[in-house]
Structure 1
Amino acid sequence: MSAQEEIDLEFLEVEDLLLRTVPGLAEQWRGATPDEVEQLERIAGRPLPRFYRWFLSRMGQSMGPLAYPSQDFSARRVLDCYARKIVAPNPRFLLIGYESDEMMPLHAFYDLDAPARGDATVTARYARGGDDPIDRFETFHEMLSWSSLFRFQFEQMSQKCEGTLYREDADLLSLLAPVLSSLGFTQPLTTGRYCGLYERADAVMICGGTPRENLENVRTFLLGGSNAGVLRRILGEVAKESSLEVEVNTWTPALR
């Protein structure tokens, strides 16, 4: 088995999730060239995270419908930023996504000093550094998976709500998962302690938090479903059975 085949098998559940949730992805994604991958590794000055190699092999040229509106994650754009010295090589931070919004030009970087599960933390920084980086996701594959469920499932639901889960001195998602499982939800992806992805035929729930934020006892959530009654029942069971404190901040559309 080749090294590339081993990488593909390792992240098969990520690939399955993206292909299932993003319409037309298989027909439109395009991988980077081997030379582009080698150039990126030379810039990084160390082996690229295994998931990044998988991403580049599948979407290093085009992310198809999964592409972000103002961020370009193509290998060609990243290499161009280094060639034009928009970004200077840094032994810790590797540019992976160029932000074209000039009002808030926070680009996506890997923090190569924060590896996790064959991947690394994705953080937001200005091209020349400056302020402390803002962590977005513990891993790039969680970021892409979260985005696919948000854009192609949660956003399509008739009723949505946003809120927070809270409990002192607890791994919140380990308390949440068994309750959602008892309600018929499945987890399409093995995630860490900061990201939770849960699906059911009539509902989807995605949870998030970031490392180094000193908010270990809080996770945000987005819950979408067929109607408000379904969402209320789900949240009621979570509050009752998990001992988590559940706070809903907004309903869309607003409840009367």
Structure 2
Amino acid sequence: DLEEYRSKSRFLYGESMGGAVALLLHRKDPTFWDGAVLVAPMCKISEKVKPHPLVITALTQVEDIIPRWKIVPTKDVIDAAFKDPDKREKIRKNKLIYQDKPRLKTALEMLRTSMYVEDSLSKVKLPFLVLHGEADTVTDPEVSRALYEHAASTDKAIKLYPGMWHGLTAGEPDENVEAVFSDIIAWLNARRRVWTPEERLTKMLAAPKKPDIDEKDHGSTRPRRRRRGFLCGLTGRTHHHSEM
């Protein structure tokens, strides 16, 4: 917390799974952040890429036995996320990008997190801008609509882009990417401000006494989900450490 930044606004930014992480950070410390930009947030995994519920249940039964196995049946996310063929090819050639099947434990934790976020949309209180491509088949744009409709935030905005895919900032043609960043920058510029120490203190004192998410397991911020009957394999299994 450098002196030169203490008076500046604090914004979260997250794309896809990062959008879900941003919402979890907000839930952990509701008054620290001044806003969030959520790009195609993974508040729910699209049914078009999610394995069948019976497959999920079966995999859950063995997640503690073979957590590192790459056996989760998934479709090609790169093909589904990046519309521009040239950019898609560059992504495929990037050796720093993981392109194999997700490890079993990792995939199930991602699913649990998205389910938890989906169940707690009404508890989002910070100002936010959510952006989503209407043709996104990786994360569901309907959940971004639900976030906008159900969030408790008094300052919230949604931008849906007809025909755009999941990779709004990296996988679309250049003119589309420029339009997305233009919307993001305009939203941030309209909300950035200088904070005084007194204003920060007042905001901090307004924080709830207890965080909304579970912090057991040696400081883990694993969310505690309520029981869900339709995915019996996921019920009651929310406190394991991920195996990356």
TM-score, normalized by length of structure 1?
Answer: 0.23
Larger strand proportion of the pair: 1
TM-score, normalized by length of structure 2?
Answer: 0.24
